[in-house]
Structure 1
């Protein structure tokens, strides 16, 4: 069967340009070229930025209330809550649509076929194993966060699914050679959970190499399983995140960026994480010349939307969330989106942030558009 094969197009690299998406060019503009790649499936990993419905299952395991199972989640596109931390579609949804593939089903909540892909991402997931964050806690401490849904656990879920997808080495090579492996944002939860345990920004920097090693080892592990096309997301600008701004404010005005109101130190941490991740990806590429590894810039487009919200049709107060409770950024750790007493903005498409850390469908669309348009058109490939 003709179509894209990584070996036939070994010279092609998923070059993701460091530029913000243009709102005037829809995701569909990239669809025709991308479909020529003939990806048959997508396998996703990550946290709530990528989770398409696993988190209700996991939260139920730990008996933790989950607001994403209630309206107004999902109201913009699906018309009902789907387990996504959004009013509609996520970046991975737009990536799938742009590639001409069905939306990627959540592994824990889907009872159908996974031949077209599976999503192992879970809201609140960390890159580093959860035990790392619970080390040193007194016996009997009832601290459920983070859940045991780290990247390593997600890889175990993938490996448990693999035998149902392919039986032999060659069959797996062929199947996964036509698959896109999407590693969504990871790291934000690692750092935020560490901040909750009292670590400052400087101490968080010492955690970055551990996070990057974990992500890099996961990539190597996926390559051993047959992955030949991977798209790896960088980290968002954590200093612009409404929950970070709410829970970890600074008394020093100089700690904030004058133009945006974002916390300088946390954005510098994100930049450091992204720089180390790109260096690691370069090393992996040099070892696996027949594997395509694209870096998806999450930082720049979000910063562009924060700095120039009107350019994207957003309201000027870019850090104010659409759905939430009382508070400086319409965000409250007590009254969350969907709670009695919470309110939802009239037009989610005019906001960057949906319920706190998570973006609106409109913002996700712009980011996905940029990532899709940044993927070079493939060379003609035949078996």
Structure 2
């Protein structure tokens, strides 16, 4: 029965792909944080920075066989999207001696929707020493445009009309900065309108630059993250969702962000007729994995909320003093049966699950591969 279901699913995916009108994307340009970063943070940090955990095994163990700057055991959502569209995996925008004609990834680990000064002025935790907000990433994009558009018919607007733009999961680090400063979920929710407004302003700028298709991601259920389950643990069972075991307050924060973002994107579509603005649901697939893990081939006892890579034991197998990438720290034998990779980020299997839902449904409407 399992084999038949798999065959049926494959046929449906192939049918969906073949029936979609040819979109013929010639390039992909991506923005975001560590869920989308393909190496920018490592490059920006430079050789003088103390060795980063993400540059050490077992990062990259599942697909690449070595660390690549991606904070996972393998590929990310943006990688699976590129593969489905027949385009090369996106190089980080700071990579040397690379061609960016088929796309570039400006996403950087620690990236925020709001500018770094916002967190400094409000005495929130500053997660990165670098200016890597969405506004900064868009500035890097502006700097690349002359080399991309020179001599192309229709200039930049013509070039970008055939590109897919992805505005990744921004907001997570904004809220984490408030939470780590002791602000609590309520205070974190108070900055949601500003976060969503900045994401939409960035999306509007891309449209004005010529983008005709933009995927804008919501954020994941923050209360289901192994690290957050340890850092913000509660002694009251009432603070946890009975069906998932995730923290209610942090998941409520994610849901409110996503709801406000979806409403704002609806308004943005109304102001930009003829532009495809796709909301990528990052919450639902991960909530489903947490609630019914075995339905998706995830280890129900360990793999839904526990980190695959990281030492320390404990309920969620997460310990900052013995984190993934540190000397002597190993990963689980089968990352494909886990959702969480290192306590914050996801396994390749989880990213693949989300990407499939964006490409063919049901986690994006319209989907990336549809024309409607």
Q: Same fold (TM over 0.5)?
A: yes
Report the TM-score when normalising by structure 1: 0.87
Deviation, 1:167, is 3.6
Structure having greater relative contact order (Cα 8 Å, sep ≥ 6)? 1
Structure with the largest fraction of helix: 2
SS at match of 1:267: helix
Report the TM-score when normalising by structure 2: 0.90
Among 185, 196, 202, which residue is 1:218 paired with? Answer: 202
Deviation, 1:62, is 8.1
The 1:128/1:94 distance shift into structure 2, 3 A limit, reads: same
Among 178, 188, 191, which residue is 1:207 paired with? Answer: 191
Aligned to 2:114: 128
Aligned to 2:328: 341
The 1:377/1:223 distance shift into structure 2, 3 A limit, reads: closer
State the Cα RMSD in Å: 2.2
Among 256, 260, 270, which residue is 1:272 paired with? Answer: 256
1:301 corresponds to 2:301: no
1:353 corresponds to 2:340: yes
8 Å CA contact 2:110, 2:127 repeated in 1: no
The 1:364/1:61 distance shift into structure 2, 3 A limit, reads: same
8 Å CA contact 2:217, 2:279 repeated in 1: yes
Measured in 1, the distance between the counterparts of 2:144 and 2:311 equals 40
8 Å CA contact 1:34, 1:98 repeated in 2: no
Deviation, 1:356, is 1.3
Give the total of aligned pairs: 355
Measured in 1, the distance between the counterparts of 2:234 and 2:225 equals 14
Gapped runs of 5+ residues in structure 2? 362-366
The 1:330/1:33 distance shift into structure 2, 3 A limit, reads: farther
Gapped runs of 5+ residues in structure 1? 1-21
Measured in 1, the distance between the counterparts of 2:310 and 2:6 equals 26
Aligned to 1:151: 134
- The C-alpha deviation readout for 1:70-129, integer Å capped at 9, x for no partner, is 111111111111100111100000001111111111101242110000000001111101
Question: After superposition, where does 1:231-270 map in structure 2 within 5 Å?
Answer: 231-270=215-254
Measured in 2, the distance between the counterparts of 1:91 and 1:82 equals 15
8 Å CA contact 1:42, 1:104 repeated in 2: yes
Deviation, 1:370, is 1.0
